Structure 1
Amino acid sequence: MALNIDPPASTFDSVKGSLNKHTIVNTTDKRHAFKIKCSNNLFYRVSSVYGFVDPNGKKPIDVHRLPGGLPGADRFVVQWAEVPAEESDPKAPFLAQAQSGEVVFNVTANPAAATTTAAPPAAEEKKE
């Protein structure tokens, strides 16, 4: 696989939102363009949707989970295409449908309250 993700998975706070850092790692001696897609664009943002990773290089990316929404699993797909050193537009290979591979990393959103004890329900007021 030309590109890998480190770490390959992460967990986010679905109540408060949170930020996790990942790294795209190029395991080849070729330059690659990448494109990041997400299964839930409503609650996730990524620092670089398109970019380049130099030969045997690394590209840090920030994945931000916005507060709210239901807990659960989502995934990011990092697509890549080998590009020449003179390529300046990271979108170009994907517009030309030159994608040569992809890697998936899974994310999970859990409520922070899941680790705390919930307060008992308030007593009902009786009306006579």
Structure 2
Amino acid sequence: MVVNFTTKRMALKIRCGNALFRVEPTHMIIEPNKCRQLTINRMPGPIQTDKAIVQYIDIEKDAQDAKAAFKAADGAGTKIPHIKIKLVAAASGGRKMSREVLDE
């Protein structure tokens, strides 16, 4: 679950560093003081860690396409803030799952 506690509309872009984790949706718009569902699935593969990068920007009231908003921000040279989330998956009986937020 992703929550927008601000008074502004936010566009989010979420991606992972390898093919073992799948994110859905990869782009979304969250209205002020609302929430949206975010799903991260682990595909079969070796035990390893990864991170999800969540980029976010304020968008105008009439914006309807989060992907286009990020393309425009990139084209304008805007520095886009982000949050890194550590993703860990292990075999049964192995390490516990982690949902740490990284300060990198």
Please classify the TM superposition score into its range, dividing by the shorter chain length: 0.7 to 0.9
Retained in 1: the 8 A contact 2:63–2:69? no
Aligned mate of 2:87, from 91, 101, 107: 107
TM-score (norm 1): 0.65
| Per-residue deviation, residues 38-81 of structure 1 (Å, max 9, x unmatched) | 111x111112001101102111111110112x212110011011
Identity of aligned residues (%): 29
- Report the equivalent of 2:5: 27
- Report the equivalent of 1:58: 35
Give the root-mean-square deviation of aligned CA atoms: 1.7
Distance 1:50 1:99, change over 3 A: farther
TM-score (norm 2): 0.78
Unpaired runs of 5+ in structure 1?
Answer: 1-22, 116-128
- Report the equivalent of 2:68: 92
Q: Aligned partners of 1:64, 1:88: CA distance in 2, in Å? A: 26
Aligned mate of 1:75, from 46, 51, 66: 51
Structure of higher RCO (CA pairs closer than 8 Å, 6+ residues apart): 1
Which entry has the higher C-alpha Rg, 1 or 2? 1
- Report the equivalent of 2:99: none
Unpaired runs of 5+ in structure 2?
Answer: 96-104
Secondary structure (helix, strand or coil) at the match of 1:111 reads coil
